[in-house]
Amino acid sequence: MDPSRAAAFPFIPADTAPLVIDRTEDVWLIRDDGTRLLDAGGGAVVTNIGHGRREVVEAAARALGTIDYVVPVWATENRIALVEELVEHWLPDGFTRASFFSGWSESVDAAIRVARTHQVAVGQPQRWKVIGRDVSYHGSTLSGLSVGNHDRRRNGLEPMLADHPKSNWLDPEALAKVIEQEGPETVAAFIGEPISGASAGAMVPPDGYWPAVEDVCRANDILIIVDEVMTGFGRTGRTWGHEHFDVTPDIIVGGKGLSGGYAPMGGIYSTDAVVDPIAAAGMGLMYFTFSGADLGCAVSVEVLRIMRQEQLVQRSAEMGARLRRRLEDELGGHPNVSDIRGLGLMQGIELVQDRDTGIEFSRSIDFAARVAGEAIERGVWVYPCGSGPVADALLIGPPFTITDDHIELIVGTTKAAIDAAAASVSG
Ligand SMILES: Cc1ncc(COP(=O)(O)O)c(C=O)c1O
């Protein structure tokens, strides 16, 4: 492709032209020059069943050939089938309600609106605050940025963001203190990612964190929203990330694995206890025009069917354990790696200038992005991330269909990329 065409594509002009991907296949992204990138980031930790699955393409074609657009409140066969698939096979006991959106920020926004509407419906209109965590990412809408705290992504927008309180992301005692300070009667909900994704590179909270959240929220009639956009649908080796911890949420937001990247689809899932009072009060949940598009529902039904048929959640656990072992073998003592963490096929590598002192690279160096650039040069895509106290990290979240050979390529290339990026900033 003529490079000037790609260079003109970004909305905000950049020094370098974006990568041009010609097609996707299995675990590979194929560039316009024919070179192949192993998709170790699963895009943005999205791809679960791998690329180019004919069954999904055919389901999408059938759906589009039957129905293009109907308003979100009407039922279609694919919409009904997706709710049935979720309730029967994927959602925790008691989760009977599902609503779908075209994206994950939209889904987070809807979850916040449901929590607030529930509180109004049960006669608690003074409860509006949604307590987030001081390192977190819940999307880039103004509501998602307000309840989240990803400093790079909030940058410059702060005056426009609602002032929702934050509690420490790793301290089990912190939430109780924030609730006390704010006044429990003002708090509608708490929101957190079971394992922190784009803000912190797969940080797993300490034992006791989630049970403490549950205790204090139950004691104060505060709803618990788990943002499983990244951790849901098997990414962490269990169906839901929160299953690793002793916590029962009220609302789940989930995501990326729902349609495996084949269609823009997100959803929120909840219980009769949350939803029935909203109905009884004659209140509702306004949709977006493209919410629950028939195409996205058809694709999601097929993706989830493949996941079950090929037992891919279990595979995420198994291959995740192998990936983790190999990362620890090869990078455990690396001078620029301060931590390797995560669960299942959501693994994070925290990067620092000096492992012994914990000193980070200066923000202006954008070290994680440099490492990702070096990895691309060597044929692997890893997802750079980090915010606040985690300046630089990599997320490794490949399709669940990866093999041992792919793991060797990911680990070897990541190591070479970190070495090359470190050499480029020291020399
Ligand atoms: C946990 C979490 N919530 C919300 C979002 C927002 O999704 P989107 O970028 O599609 O709006 C993301 C995206 O990475 C996410 O990881």
> Where along the chain do its domains lie?
3-52+311-426, 54-309
Residue 427 pLDDT: 64
Residue 426 pLDDT: 85
Q: Which atom of ligand 1 is nearest to the CA of 44?
A: 14
> Given ligand 1 and candidates 101, 108, 265, 291, which is best to mutate, with the most ligand atoms within 8 Å of its CB?
108
Residues 294, 67 contacting (CB under 8 angstroms): yes
Q: Is the pLDDT of residue 402 over 70?
A: yes
Mean pLDDT of 180-191: 98
What's the rounded Cα separation, in Å, for the pair 118 and 223?
9
Q: pLDDT category, 169, cuts 50, 70, 90?
A: very high
Query: What distance in angstroms lies between residue 105's CA and the mean position of ligand 1's atoms?
Result: 6
What's the rounded Cα separation, in Å, for the pair 290 and 419?
45
Query: What distance in angstroms lies between residue 129's CA and the mean position of ligand 1's atoms?
Result: 21
Query: What distance in angstroms lies between residue 137's CA and the mean position of ligand 1's atoms?
Result: 7
Whether residue 299 has its Cβ less than 6 Å from ligand 1:
no
Residue identified by tokens 């803000």 is 199
Residue 284 pLDDT: 95
Structure tokens at 302: 């097929």
Q: Is the pLDDT of residue 325 over 80?
A: yes
Query: What distance in angstroms lies between residue 385's CA and the mean position of ligand 1's atoms?
Result: 13
Query: What distance in angstroms lies between residue 263's CA and the mean position of ligand 1's atoms?
Result: 15
pLDDT single digits (tens) 198-222:
999 999 999 999 999 999 999 999 9
210 closest CA partner among 244, 236, 245, 237: 245
Q: What 3-state class would DSSP assign to 397? A: coil
What's the rounded Cα separation, in Å, for the pair 139 and 178?
23
Whether residue 227 has its Cβ less than 6 Å from ligand 1:
yes
The CA radius of gyration of the chain, in Å to the nearest whole number, is 21
Whether residue 108 has its Cβ less than 6 Å from ligand 1:
yes
Residues 382, 40 contacting (CB under 8 angstroms): yes
Whether residue 139 has its Cβ less than 6 Å from ligand 1:
yes
Q: What is the pTM of this model?
A: 0.97
> Given ligand 1 and candidates 136, 229, 235, which is best to mutate, with the most ligand atoms within 8 Å of its CB?
229
171 closest CA partner among 228, 210, 140: 210
Whether residue 228 has its Cβ less than 6 Å from ligand 1:
no
The domain covering 3-52+311-426 belongs, at the CATH homologous superfamily level, to Aspartate Aminotransferase, domain 1 (3.90.1150.10)
Mean pLDDT of 398-414: 98
Query: What distance in angstroms lies between residue 85's CA and the mean position of ligand 1's atoms?
Result: 23
Query: What distance in angstroms lies between residue 280's CA and the mean position of ligand 1's atoms?
Result: 31
Residues 99, 155 contacting (CB under 8 angstroms): no
pLDDT single digits (tens) 221-261:
999 999 999 999 999 999 999 999 989 999 999 989 999 99
Whether residue 397 has its Cβ less than 6 Å from ligand 1:
no
Q: Which atom of ligand 1 is nearest to the CA of 45?
A: 14
Q: Which atom of ligand 1 is nearest to the CA of 227?
A: 1
Residues 322, 407 contacting (CB under 8 angstroms): yes
pLDDT single digits (tens) 360-382:
999 999 999 999 999 999 999 99
pLDDT single digits (tens) 72-88:
999 999 999 999 999 99
Whether residue 44 has its Cβ less than 6 Å from ligand 1:
yes
Query: What distance in angstroms lies between residue 300's CA and the mean position of ligand 1's atoms?
Result: 18
Q: Give me the architecture of the 54-309 domain, per CATH.
A: 3-Layer(aba) Sandwich (3.40)
Domains 3-52+311-426 and 54-309 share a fold: no
Q: Is the pLDDT of residue 2 over 90?
A: no
Whether residue 193 has its Cβ less than 6 Å from ligand 1:
yes
Q: Is the pLDDT of residue 153 over 80?
A: yes
Q: Is the pLDDT of residue 197 over 80?
A: yes
